[in-house]
């Protein structure tokens, strides 16, 4: 168990290091990709000696290799990290689906006239569990947006992630609530008006790859 924890922790540190190397002092470049900039810094062992992030990357990617080879390895590592983050979202969505199936079954039992009070309690538990998984899914999706932004996917990043990872609305905790069936974000009739932008919006507006 201890070995597994150390392995997971080390993997998270490497992903964090890759994200940290995604930015240079002058901001993103239109002519270089994230992995190209990172590869140059990884290979430059003379001027980049005491950088803890670089040392973590060098533990996996040999700085003595050809620059192009390091670029390809870093590109693969970044792609793998993004893939894992996507799987994390899908895991929480699957857990949401399981709780929703339980919620639907309980609703059918309520219609059949079974023990209503017991069913009310179970419905609340199912809704709470569903909403908690939904909260985690939304957090994981936001993290994916940040990771993709750090990797250089700036233009339409938010739109791409939202379209590929839709998350249904929350379930009502109270059984008497009129809305009992969650809707996908892609099928909402009313869109929320965002009055204030966030950092992701700013990056998309000023992205150099437009």
Tokens of 12: 């998270």
d(CA 54, CA 62): 11
Q: How confident is the model at residue 79 (pLDDT cuts 50, 70, 90)?
A: confident
Q: Quick one: 166 exposed, middle or buried, by C-beta within 10 A (0-12, 13-18, 19+)?
A: middle
Q: CB of 54 within 8 A of CB of 22?
A: no
Torsional class of 106: left (φ above 0), alpha (ψ -120 to 50), beta (otherwise) = alpha
Domain ranges of the chain: 2-206
d(CA 116, CA 48): 67
What pTM was estimated for this model as a whole?
Answer: 0.61
d(CA 136, CA 52): 30
Which tens digits make up the pLDDT trace of 162-209? Answer: 999 999 999 998 765 444 555 555 544 444 434 344 445 534 443 433
């Amino acid at each position: 168990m201890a070995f597994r924890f150390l392995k997971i922790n080390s993997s998270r540190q490497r992903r964090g290091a890759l994200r940290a190397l995604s930015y240079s002092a002058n901001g993103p470049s239109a002519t270089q990709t994230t992995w190209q900039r990172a590869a140059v810094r990884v290979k430059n062992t003379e001027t980049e000696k005491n950088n803890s992030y670089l040392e973590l990357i060098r533990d996996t990617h040999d700085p003595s290799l050809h620059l192009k080879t390091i670029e390809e390895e870093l590109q693969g590592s970044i792609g793998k990290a993004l893939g894992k983050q996507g799987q994390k979202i899908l895991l929480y969505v699957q857990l949401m689906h399981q709780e929703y199936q339980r919620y639907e079954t309980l609703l059918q039992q309520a219609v059949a006239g079974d023990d209503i009070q017991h069913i009310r309690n179970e419905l609340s538990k199912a809704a709470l569990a569903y909403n908690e998984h939904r909260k985690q899914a939304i957090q994981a999706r936001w993290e994916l947006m940040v990771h993709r932004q750090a990797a250089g996917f700036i233009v339409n990043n938010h739109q791409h992630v939202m379209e590929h990872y839709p998350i249904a609305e929350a379930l009502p905790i109270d059984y008497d609530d009129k809305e009992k069936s969650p809707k996908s974000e892609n099928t909402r009739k009313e869109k929320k008006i965002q009055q204030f932008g966030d950092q992701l919006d700013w990056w998309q507006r000023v992205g150099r790859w437009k």
